[in-house]
């Protein structure tokens, strides 16, 4: 393009261009304005219109570039919003209750249960056992058919549903040998010295009922719960060094308690178990053979409550005398009783050999217990006499049968005399001598120990033996295992194994809450603690588990249980846009 001015001061624009097929270029000349006398330029209408058009086109191109940049930015934001929306949908759809199951799994790691399960059963079966334990503890139910509902609402170790056939196969694979191997290794893996003070173990048993006729160890017995059903029994020992069940064993429901100690001693000796050197038994296990087995064969100190029908019981009371019942120096304020100690050498004949045990016998007198036993005995005798007299008045009792006391309750026959005054008449009255002899021992109980303890220390240790009873209470109340809902022996052993492990975890939670009752306040019961932990949710984000916000109360509870807080991440934030409404005119 070339611009020139002619002789008339007209300004032209000359542009060369080529026409396809022609040799020489052509020239186009256009007038665009006029040169003024002062040298300035004034454009004509063509030039002005062309300049305006070019300016407009340039502006349009700039706007188009801005629009393109905005569209790119807008598409990126839309893509980001779509990604965030997808994450939010993923988080909401995968939201489950996780706090309680996380606590259970962490406690199992802390107690050494998880490591021991993996060593004995393998990793896959250990995960199945852990999930079933989480199910039992959270739902407080042993109905395994409901596991699918638990899986839909809670996270657990396996992270998938477990079918009923899989559960049955798992139960069947857990034999008595596996249980024994587990507790033998747990005795090594579990953290020691979890209690303060002196260590000891307590032994006791309880009964469970069953509807099944295919379980060999179920037998008719007079169980306190469901007496019309057959029962099997479970004996367990609780070790205070680890605050856990040290071992348990199943046996028939009609075997007396006193005969279960022998099997326990043989197993404990074979497993080389040591329970702090002291084992405590209830009065139901009192026998000289049991004392010998535990003290001599297991080489443990024994503590046992004596039955009142033993000769050594009466002998110890005679040695203690009556003066200690009012001696303030022998009063134990923590228990509200008077106590004194006498020594005795007990000679036992075992395998035609005399074995001597040096025992310390602690005699206790409780004024409160004396009052209740006296009033209870007097009321029972008076009620029984009135009942039998009523039978005579109604002429429902033959005099000869009555004289043999067959209509008098057995445990009261020794305190009631039936005196015949004629062929037809008898007198029923209280035997004052027998009653006085019984009341002389009222309020008294006797504990035998093979360890040299004071009366105060022996009683405090013995009354701390309720931890094994708490274990049974947890099994029946917190886990709902009052009846064996299994069909045969193969699945019974496996289910009881998982129930007992679950009870050990719950016992740990209760013990920790008891230790931190001042921080947690008394209003924080076990059930409320379960609800607090269960209200901690989690969701899945990019394949990772993300926990929701944890309240201060929940943090305090987890800290009291000795657990670390679960890893927390910020949840996805949803952006919201708002349009400001115009005020109404």
The segments of the chain whose pLDDT lies below 70 read 1-2, 4, 71, 73-94, 142, 192-198, 222-225, 274-276, 350-351, 395-405, 423-424, 541-543, 567-585
Query: Side by side, which strands form the sheet with 2-5?
Result: 2-5, 10-17, 26-35, 41-43
pLDDT of residue 504: 92
pTM of the model: 0.73
- How far does CA 24 lie from the centroid of its chain? 102
Q: How close are the terminal C-alpha atoms of the chain, in Å?
A: 61
> For the chain, how big is the Rg over CA atoms in Å?
44
Cα 132-138-144 angle, rounded to 5 deg: 40
Classify the phi-psi angles of 49: left when phi > 0, otherwise alpha if psi is within -120 to 50, otherwise beta. Answer: alpha
Selection from 61, 158, 156 nearest residue 100 by Cα: 156
Indicate if the alpha-carbon torsion angle 13, 18, 19, 25 is positive or negative.
positive
- How far does CA 514 lie from the centroid of its chain? 14
Selection from 347, 341, 236, 353 nearest residue 288 by Cα: 347
Contacts of 520 (CB under 8 A, 6+ apart): 513, 529, 556, 557, 560
DSSP H or E segment with residue 372 = helix 367-393
pLDDT of residue 567: 66
Exposed/middle/buried for residue 484 (C-beta within 10 Å: 0-12, 13-18, 19+): buried
Query: Does residue 204 contact residue 235 with C-beta atoms inside 8 Å?
Result: yes
Long-range contacts of 82-91 (CB under 8 A, 24+ apart): 84/572, 84/573, 84/574, 84/575, 85/574, 87/541, 87/542, 87/572, 88/572, 88/574, 90/539, 90/540, 90/541, 91/539, 91/540, 91/541, 91/546, 91/571, 91/572
Long-range contacts of 226-234 (CB under 8 A, 24+ apart): 226/482, 226/483, 229/483, 231/207, 232/207, 232/208, 232/484, 232/492, 233/205, 233/206, 233/207, 233/208, 233/260, 234/205, 234/206, 234/207, 234/208, 234/472, 234/496
Neighbours of 465 (CB within 10 A): 21
Instruction: Give backbone dihedrals phi and psi of 576, rounded to 5 degrees, phi first.
Output: -125, 135
pLDDT of residue 574: 43
pLDDT of residue 397: 63
Instruction: Give backbone dihedrals phi and psi of 304, rounded to 5 degrees, phi first.
Output: -145, 140
Query: Does residue 216 contact residue 183 with C-beta atoms inside 8 Å?
Result: no
Q: List, for residues 499-553, the tens digit of each pLDDT value.
A: 999 999 999 999 889 888 888 877 788 999 999 998 888 877 666 777 888 888 8
pLDDT of residue 538: 82
């Amino acid at each position: 393009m070339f611009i020139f001015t002619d002789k008339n001061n007209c300004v032209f624009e000359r542009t060369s261009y080529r026409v396809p097929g022609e040799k020489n270029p052509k020239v186009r000349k256009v007038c665009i304005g006029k040169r003024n006398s002062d040298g300035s330029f004034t454009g004509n209408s063509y030039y002005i219109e062309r300049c305006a058009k070019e300016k407009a086109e340039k502006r349009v191109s700039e706007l188009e570039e801005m629009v393109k940049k905005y569209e790119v930015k807008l598409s990126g934001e839309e893509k980001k919003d779509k990604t965030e929306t997808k994450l939010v949908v993923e988080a909401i759809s995968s939201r489950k209750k996780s706090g309680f199951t996380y606590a259970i799994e962490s406690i199992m790691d802390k107690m050494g249960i998880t490591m021991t399960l993996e060593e004995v059963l393998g990793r896959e079966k250990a995960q199945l056992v852990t999930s079933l334990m989480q199910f039992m503890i959270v739902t407080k139910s042993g109905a395994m058919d409901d596991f699918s509902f638990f899986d839909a609402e809670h996270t657990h170790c396996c992270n998938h549903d477990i079918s009923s056939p899989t559960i049955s196969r798992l139960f069947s694979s857990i034999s008595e040998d596996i249980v024994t191997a587990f507790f033998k290794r747990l005795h090594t893996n579990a953290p020691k010295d979890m209690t303060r003070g002196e260590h000891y173990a307590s032994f006791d048993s309880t009964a469970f009922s069953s509807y099944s006729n295919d379980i060999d160890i179920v037998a008719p017995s007079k169980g306190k719960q469901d007496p019309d059903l057959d029962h099997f029994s479970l004996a367990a020992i609780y070790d205070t060094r680890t605050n856990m069940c040290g071992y348990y064993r199943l046996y028939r429901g009609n075997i007396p308690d006193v005969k279960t100690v022998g099997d326990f001693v043989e197993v404990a000796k074979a497993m080389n178990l040591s329970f702090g050197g002291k084992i405590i038994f209830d009065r139901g296990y009192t026998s000289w053979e049991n004392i010998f087995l535990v003290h001599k064969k297991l080489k443990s100190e024994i503590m046992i409550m004596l039955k009142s029908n033993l000769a050594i019981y009466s002998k110890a009371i005679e040695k203690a005398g009556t003066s200690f019942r009012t001696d303030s120096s022998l009063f134990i304020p923590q228990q509200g009783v008077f106590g004194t100690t006498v020594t005795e050498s007990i000679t036992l004949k075992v395998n035609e050999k005399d074995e001597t045990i040096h025992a310390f016998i602690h005699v206790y007198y409780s004024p409160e217990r004396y009052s209740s036993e006296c009033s209870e005995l007097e009321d029972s005798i008076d009620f029984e006499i009135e009942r039998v007299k009523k039978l005579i008045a109604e002429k429902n009792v033959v005099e000869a049968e009555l004289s043999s006391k067959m209509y008098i309750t057995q445990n009261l026959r020794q305190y009631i005399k039936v005196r015949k005054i004629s062929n037809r008449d008898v007198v029923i009255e209280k035997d004052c001598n027998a009653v006085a002899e019984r009341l002389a021992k009222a309020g008294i109980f006797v504990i035998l120990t093979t360890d040299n303890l004071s009366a105060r220390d022996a009683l405090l240790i013995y009354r701390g033996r309720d931890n094994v009873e708490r274990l049974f209470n947890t099994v029946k109340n917190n886990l709902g295992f009052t009846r064996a809902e299994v069909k045969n022996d193969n699945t019974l052993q496996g289910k009881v194994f998982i129930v007992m492990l679950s009870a050990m975890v719950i016992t740990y939670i209760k013990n920790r809450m008891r230790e931190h009752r001042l921080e947690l306040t008394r209003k924080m019961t076990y059930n409320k603690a379960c609800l607090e932990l269960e209200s901690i949710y989690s969701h899945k984000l990019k394949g990772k588990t993300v926990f929701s916000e944890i309240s201060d109360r929940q943090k305090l509870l987890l800290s009291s249980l000795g657990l670390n807080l679960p890893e927390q991440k910020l949840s996805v934030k949803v952006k919201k846009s708002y349009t400001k409404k115009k005020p109404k005119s």
